[in-house]
Chain A
Amino acid sequence: MRLSDASLAIRPRPPWEACDLGVLLARRHAGVLMASWAALTLPLYGLLTLVLWDQPSLAFLLFWWLKPLYERLPLFILSRALFGEVPGVRQSLRALPGELKAQLLPSLLWRRFSPVRSFALPVQQLEKLSGQARRERLALLLQRDGAPASWLTIVGMHLEMALWLGLLGLLYLMLPAQVELAWSWQDLLGLTSDWLWIEHLSNLLYVLVLIVWEPVYVACGFSLYLNRRTQLEAWDIELSFRRLRDRLAAALPILLASLCLLLPGPGGTGLLQAAESEPPFATESAAAPAFSRAQARERIGELLQQPPFQNRETVTRWRLESAAEDEHDGSGLLERLGRLHRLWQSLDGVALALEVLLWTGLLLSVGWLLWRYRAWLQAFGLRRRAQAPAAGRPPAQLFGLELAPESLPADPAAEAARLWDSDPRAALGLLYRGMLSELLRQRRVVLRASDTEGEVLRRLEQLREPDLQAFAGRLTTLWQNLAYGHRAPPTALREPLCSEWTRLFGRGVQA
């Protein structure tokens, strides 16, 4: 074992920190630890399940009981990985039989329930101690920091349980509703013998949980063990001392050579004299103090009493004498009880008051929230409402055409058909005005008094009614030709236009 090869920062730590370091250790080698654990336990679990198919609980119990057997594998890997040579999965599995030989029976029988299982494992597996020697060693190691090792096991038990239930819960959440239904029916009918595999599945989940947790558990125990030995044997100091010795050994020839060159005097060539010519900074503080500890303390005390540190002053002034306390003796006890009872009853009043206060607070805070976010609400919440008032005030005129419903005949299409031959301008105008008026009234298109004919058509696109769009386009073109170009509409269009108008907008404005 060469400490300088260790892949851990070696120093004595508080026990919980040592435990955390174990988690980090397991995390760094998680791949090989979990893979080898899975390669060992999954086939074993499969075998147990096959043999004990009818007794899932027994299979589970056996698998659980054999845990100390598997725990030797992670410890083997970790003890190698600590000094930088991480074994592969195959290599570790091949080494396992050798690791299992030592004290397998005690591990599986009376030491199975030791609360410091993972902490004690390195003593028997790595130090290969047994019997009295092991007992003494453990007693020494457990003198301090034994509690965290036990707590580690206890927390581990609960964590296994929590993770297992968590996985079961996850699985249950993933079940489709139908399966759940069938399951409960099967239970009701007592056909559960077919559902053994559910129990085996839940056992399997436990095996999966162990793949994650057990390497961490072993690593934490190992790390606690290492930490205790670091404390007992001062590994960190040994490391530093060795480094210092190596440094000095490397520097010594140079020092000697420079000495011979610079100081050819009769002085000895020992390292001590060489170094005394340049005193290290740390020794100055040792040489400097002119007074002893007690004196220094005294002077510090004096300094602390002076103004910048303390300002004590005595203030004397007049004040009123407090009123004499009225004193009740034992006779007041009954009265007090009565008062307590009354207080008891008055509490309902307090409850009411509190309720009122709470409701007021709730309302106030809701009001405040509304007021605080009024801009946001206006921007997003009230968009629909914002459109309504605009549509409520339609322009009465568009490009000089009267649009108010009162200005139109009851049935514009019929009226237009009647006027078509005698006065095509009036007839087409009637149709067009009728269309605009109906757009405003029925379809609630938002038109402004400043819109042109083309803009009206573009606004119609938002309605997504292709029929209306086409009709409006045709009518607008005809109307523009007639109004601005004085070109009369073809007579053949009378019937289709009027019937289309009626189909789209219904019969009559007031109808």
Chain B
Amino acid sequence: MPRSPLALLDNCHRVETPEGIDLVLKPAGLVPRALAFAIDLVLRAAILLVLGSLLAMLGQFGAGFGAILLFVVQWWYMVLFEVLNQGRTPGKQWLGLRVVHDDGTPVGWGASLVRNLLRFVDLLPFGYLFGALSCLAHPSFKRLGDIAAGTLVVHRERPAAPPALPEVAPEAAPVRLTLDEQRALIAFSERHAGLSAARREELAGILAAPLGTPPALAERRLHAIARGLLGQA
């Protein structure tokens, strides 16, 4: 069977800035979003329960205030959190998600209001049927509200401390390396702790011959080159 000429499947949404820089956003799919929603749902229920029972003791004032509270929690919880907390409701924060515009800019009042008001279209006819189907079928996992508002739920990049490289004397790379190749070399060094010794040897063995190193020393040599690439003395 001939290979299909399709592009490699990847979970990226590329945005090109006017300066010609590619921003890579990672849209978030149905499963993490559903979990985030569930967390928010539980949180909202808890807020209403606690404050509602407190307000119930305050008579008429409590009843009136409770009605306002219900309105605010029901309609503004998502919007306020999204706009004022960098696109993250508590549930989304927990799951490492955030809402942005299609072009990657922070979500604003208009877009957030639209996507959360249209939540009630996604709810139809019951239990988020339309929203779930739209989320499964859209390449960037948008529900109907997201399509209308031009927003995107993306995975947040979490800053990670760079892992320690093995302690070897740095060495200059013997050949000119492309960016991808440099990255692969550095990744090999950074992730060596998570790989089994046999696997490390096998991987390093691939490059032993071109480097002109005996296979047994290849791994050490690669670590040295990676350190050299990172400029770590």
Chain A interface residues (CB < 8 Å from chain B): 5-9, 12-14, 16-17, 19-21, 23-25, 27-28, 84-86, 148, 151-152, 155-156, 158-159, 161-163, 165-170, 173, 212, 216, 220, 231-234, 236-238, 240-245, 248-249, 252, 270-272, 275-276, 278-280, 282-283, 285-289, 292-293, 344, 347-348, 350-351, 354-355
Contacts and interface: CB of A to CB of B under 8 A. Distances in A.
Contacts of A348: 59-61
A170 B9 contact: no
Contacts of A270: 212
Nearest to A173: B125
B233 A292 contact: yes
B184 interface: yes
10 contacts: A8-B10, A9-B8, A166-B130, A240-B184, A245-B206, A252-B210, A286-B227, A348-B59, A348-B60, A351-B65
Nearest to A292: B233
A86 B155 CA distance: 30
B32 A20 contact: yes
B176 A280 contact: yes
B40 to A, nearest CB: 14
Interface in B131-162: 132-133, 136-137, 139, 141, 155, 158
Given A148-B31, A159-B30, A292-B233, 10 more contacts: A17-B11, A156-B31, A166-B126, A169-B127, A234-B187, A234-B188, A237-B191, A252-B210, A286-B170, A286-B233
B129 interface: yes
B174 interface: yes
B181 A240 contact: yes
Given A5-B3, A282-B229, A354-B64, A272 B174 contact: yes
Nearest to A13: B11
A278 B195 contact: no
A7 B9 contact: yes
A244 B1 CA distance: 28
A53 to B, nearest CB: 28
Interface in B1-35: 1, 3-4, 6, 8-12, 26-32, 34-35
A20 B29 contact: yes
Contacts of A272: 174, 211-212
A13 B233 CA distance: 30
B76 to A, nearest CB: 16
A354 B61 contact: yes
Given A17-B11, A220-B31, A245 B212 contact: no
B50 interface: no
Contact of B61 (A162, A287, A347): A347
A275 B175 contact: yes
